[in-house]
Amino acid sequence: MSPAGTSPRPSSHPPFNEGAAHVAAPSRFGGSSLDAMPDDIRAVCEETRAKVGFVPNVFLAYAQRPEHFRAFMHYHDLVMKGPSGLSRAEREAIVVAVSAENDCLYCVVSHGAALRILGKDPIVADQIATNWRTADLAPRLRAILTFASRVNEPGFAATDKELAELKAVGLSDNDAWDIAAVAAFFGLSNRMAGFMDMRPNPQFYEMGRAKA
């Protein structure tokens, strides 16, 4: 740090990350324009843009395959927004934890934004995005993420002991089903995002953070 009233010494180092290529396309396959979309898919994109101010790149990427878009979004909305004993913030925490384990940039960033907003605890949201095991979690949420992580393992098969451990913190069999459904669905989502090299919209990085 320079003494008060003096200018910092000129740096001999190049500007941070100078010369990096910044990928602007939604995915390695590009993205569909709104004008080219079927009416129902365009309506979903426009509704979302009116709500959050932009169209998430996952919409643009999947819109190139309309039937895949419809199937993906239908199940996404069911497991993430449908009736459940899990709160929406708990479900977003599952997505972020599993996506971090799977090194999925798109889902960690986009659902990390959703978790900061819905959970109203950006510190814990960032902890989960880095390593949920060392995050400051309540017993219920730790049990949820422990089981979600197990679902994410290759060759997973639930045990009676694991279901009993969920019941011990007040989670029902239907809650366990929902944990498994979210974790398994985002195992698919993470792998498709990796296949497409899907890139998060820049706006996601700032959502749910305190403004300076």
Q: How does the average pLDDT of the chain come out, rounded?
A: 95
Average pLDDT estimate for 14-28:
89
Q: How far is it, in rounded angstroms, from Cα 103 to Cα 53?
A: 27
Per-residue pLDDT, 28: 95
- For the segment 5-32, the average pLDDT, to the nearest whole number, is 84
Average pLDDT on 86-93 reads 98
Measured between alpha carbons, how far is residue 192 from residues 6, 27, 62, 69 in Å? 52, 11, 10, 12
- The domain spans of the chain are 31-82, 86-205
41, 70 in Cβ contact below 8 A?
yes
What is the DSSP code string of 127-162?
Answer: HHHHHGGGS---HHHHHHHHHHHHHTSTT----HHH
Predicted confidence at residue 5, as pLDDT, reads 59
Q: What is the DSSP letter of 41?
A: H
**Domain 86-205, second-level architecture:** Up-down Bundle (1.20)
State both tokens at 107: 């889902």
Domain 31-82 has CATH 2.30.60.10: no
Between 4 and 191, the higher pLDDT residue: 191
DSSP letter for 35, please: G
Band of the pLDDT at 7, cuts 50, 70, 90? low
